[in-house]
Chain A
Amino acid sequence: MTAPLRIGFIPLIDAAGLIVAVEKGFVRVEGLDVQLVREVSWSNVRDKLNIGLFDAAHSLAPVPIASSLGIGHIKVPIVAPLTLSLNGNAVTVSPPLYAAIVHELDGDRLDPMATARALARVVAARRRSGSAPLTFGMTFPFSAHNYLLRFWMAAGHVDPDEDVRLVVLPPPFMVDSMASGQIDGFCVGAPWNSIAVDRGVGRVLHFGSDIVQRAAEKVLAVRQIWADKNPHVLAALVRAVFRAAEFAEVPENRTEVAQILARDEYIGVDAGVILRTLEGRLKVASDGTSREDSRFMMLAREDASAPDPLQAAWLYAQMVRWKQTPMNREGLKRAQAVFRPDLFEAALGRANAQQTGSSAMGAFAGPVFAPETIEAYFAALSAEPGSR
């Protein structure tokens, strides 16, 4: 038995791997004693991991890259030996904005390109009439939520820094802010989109997976120095969380998993909402219309758990695109090295990386992304009218 590991998490459904690992005994099988510590902000999770108050953390995927490169905060090398989830977000808009987009729509309402172009027309009309710019909420500057919103808007030639306002809001405040009219839309993870729909103040416009098919959402994050000093503990933790994520993916286990996550000490919301999310079956409108997508949130499916340096490179590219950091090849290389498939494979006793699923990002618009040709990627993006 080693000393208890302290692992910070935010009460969200994609912390399932960690929570189930503790509650269903996967950590005990590995001889680990884990104390999960619920946190209230991503900043807290980051800082407590960085200074060693946490041994590991449920982290927004871009944060370890930002910390490792010293972007926006002090520089602390962090590694991600396991992906906790791919996707799981949705873009939800207020009923009036939904109506305005549908009014301007000249294509399929599930096609993000059609909705983005419609959004551009809504934005232009508001500017002509002198209305205040639309405001969208997201959860953190270094988050897939921020990048997905921006990616979608920019594809329709809406400049997310000039044409609309993007504001950071803690997820529990999103729904109230929408109800009170302070924001017109948001991109956030589960269960908050469903809660906005249930309360009749929002309509799910897109799943995150409509925008990018495989987007790294949360990772297990540890300090590089801790990983170097505790290779066996790390491997045991990776195994435990991976097995737990696999457990949570089995359809027959979902009801039990939803009940565990629903408990007050974890997420503290209705188990039914959690179950729907695990099944990728979300109510998108308050009239009861629902939509299903097997890619809505992936915990261990399609090789989701293996950290993919391509994902890290894409996240780095978004940081560059939105001017959080200047582009340089060294930074790109270091960003890719934050995601460690080698640690994941070694923990599972697999000799070589066995990427079974497609590793492509599958973005709905823009040039195909490859780190080797990142300059050409930016050149192609900036060649599009209205983009940057």
Chain B
Amino acid sequence: MGGESSPKIAIVDESPIRAALLEEGLREAGYTDVVRIGEMQSLLNRIYALDPDVIVIDLENPSRDVLEQMFQVSRAVRRPIAMFVDQSDAASIQASVDAGVSAYIVDGLKKERLKPILDLCISRFNAFAKLQNELDRARSALEDRKVIDRAKGILMKLKGLTEDEAYVLLRSTAMREKKKIGDIAQSILTASELLK
């Protein structure tokens, strides 16, 4: 941290997994003072109690507007904060909005110290989104496999096929009808339910 003490970073995120991923990334990068806020009730008071230098918030969080208040000068706001960008840094804003994260810098911290933190948040947010996509895909693949296994069982019983023959029949039908094999299997299950 170049001799300067590690800035205190508050992560405001209702997704505990993503927040944990972010915290881990920040700690690996040498930021030792990281706190997670997952509860949005009286967010401003929690933030004042923590008194962070940097606030990171996910863009799907309606409480983002609460932070906007901290730009204002009033008794309710003790330390004014600013958005992470200056006028010249539109690329940063674009990248962070795309990733779904926003960062705020609290009065006193130098802007150049925020940039690496923000970049790290952007990459972790993107990594999380990718992970979630993969998870969703894996989950649907697993679902497909269960459906295919049951459809194979039905074909084997009704048509006296071996398991391999049943699978080949499913696959060739899917190819001919330009559909996914899982969809063909599902229609067999539906049909067999109806014909019961």
Contact = CB atoms under 8 A, between A and B. Distances in A.
Interface of A: 40-44, 47-48, 50-51, 53, 70, 72-75, 139-141, 161-162, 165-170, 172-173, 177, 180, 182, 323-324
Given A47-B97, A74-B85, A173-B63, 9 more contacts: A41-B59, A41-B61, A43-B68, A72-B68, A74-B90, A140-B65, A168-B68, A170-B66, A172-B62
Contacts of A42: 65, 68
Contacts of A323: 73
B83 interface: yes
A161 B74 CA distance: 6
Contacts of A141: 68-69, 71-72
B87 interface: yes
Interface string B105-117: 0000000000000
Contact of B94 (A51, A73, A139): A51
The A interface is mostly helix, strand or loop, or mixed, namely loop
Interface string B29-55: 000000000001110100000000000
Contact of A43 (B64, B85, B87): B64
B93 A47 contact: yes
B69 A167 contact: yes
B97 A51 contact: yes
B164 interface: no
Interface string B75-117: 1100000010111001001100100001000000000000000
A166 B66 CA distance: 11
Contact of B60 (A40, A51, A74, A161): A40
Contacts, number: 80
Contacts of B75: 161-162, 165
B66 A169 contact: yes
A267 to B, nearest CB: 15
B74 A170 contact: no
A21 to B, nearest CB: 25
A44 B64 contact: yes
A168 B90 CA distance: 26
B62 A173 contact: yes
Contacts of B94: 51
A42 B68 CA distance: 10
Contacts of A170: 62-63, 65-66
A47 B94 CA distance: 9
Contacts of B73: 323
Interface in B137-175: none
A42 B87 CA distance: 20
A178 to B, nearest CB: 13
A44 B62 CA distance: 9
Nearest to B100: A44
A224 to B, nearest CB: 15
A162 B73 CA distance: 12
Contacts of B66: 167-170
Given A140-B65, A167-B44, A323-B73, A44 B83 contact: no
